[in-house]
Amino acid sequence: MFVFIVEIIKTTIQFMADLLSGELPGYFYIWCGVFVVYAFIYACLEIRTKLTAPKLAESFFLECVSHLAGWIIGILVARASVYLIEDGISQHHKLALYKIGLLLLISYDFTAIFSGLTNRPFAQRNIAERSAFIVGMAATYLLFMLCRDSILQGLILSQTYVVTLSILSGIFALLYKISLRSAEGPKNS
């Protein structure tokens, strides 16, 4: 357990140092800007009834921190998957793991938006949860396929590695959907 905590702290410090150094490729910073805009819009929508400056700032800050934590979790999942699947990535240096973590975060955001939009239409719990799993898995898989020639250029990812990450993303989407249902309270099952 201690080794796991040390690995999380080490990854967080290394990622933050690399991000703040300004030496990462430009698209990382463009995506950081996109996440900041997304966090601001989300914060405004979340507290639209009581739009006060302190509430907006708090919600915005929490959303930014959660995106940063999500990116770090994506990096850790990518790193753990490299150890589980031999020859999953052609070269698993930290920049490759940052790219994969970024794609996992983007996929998570798509799935979170989908879960938020479908919270009301799917009255039955099992249909909503299955759809969240399928959308999370499909979004990740499609994102990896679409980004092979752009963000993932120069990396060779095995099909097994991509499918494993897609299944893990589907599981995270399912857990997110369940947490949304739990936060709402008991409803029809």
Radius of gyration of the chain (CA): 17
* First-to-last C-alpha distance (Å) of the chain: 37
For 103-106, the CB contacts below 8 A with 24+ separation are 103/74, 103/140, 103/143, 103/144, 103/147, 103/151, 103/152, 104/70, 104/73, 104/74, 104/77, 104/78, 104/140, 104/165, 104/169, 105/35, 105/67, 105/70, 105/71, 105/74, 106/31, 106/143
Share of the chain above pLDDT 90, in %: 39
The pair of three-digit structure tokens given for residue 99, joined into one six-digit string: 């790219």
pLDDT at residue 12 in the model: 92
pLDDT over threshold 60, residue 65: yes
Q: Over 70: is that where the pLDDT of 189 sits?
A: no
Q: What is the pLDDT of residues 151-174, one digit of tens each?
A: 888 888 889 999 999 999 999 988
Interval 71-81 mean pLDDT = 91
Q: Which two tokens stand for residue 178?
A: 């369940």
pLDDT tens-digit readout, 93-135: 889 899 999 999 999 888 888 877 776 666 677 787 888 889 9
Look at 24 and 45; give whichever has higher pLDDT.
Answer: 24
CA dihedral 84, 106, 172, 82 (to 10 degrees): 0
CB 177 within 8 A of CB 132: yes
Give residue 182's pLDDT band: very low, low, confident or very high (50, 70, 90): confident
Secondary structure (3-state) at 104? helix
> What local confidence, expressed as pLDDT, does residue 111 receive?
86
Q: Say if CB 60 and CB 40 are below 8 A apart.
A: yes
The pTM assigned to this predicted structure is: 0.86
Short-list 120, 122, 125, 169, CA closest to 143: 169
pLDDT digits (tens, 9 = 90+) for 11-34: 999 999 999 999 899 999 999 999
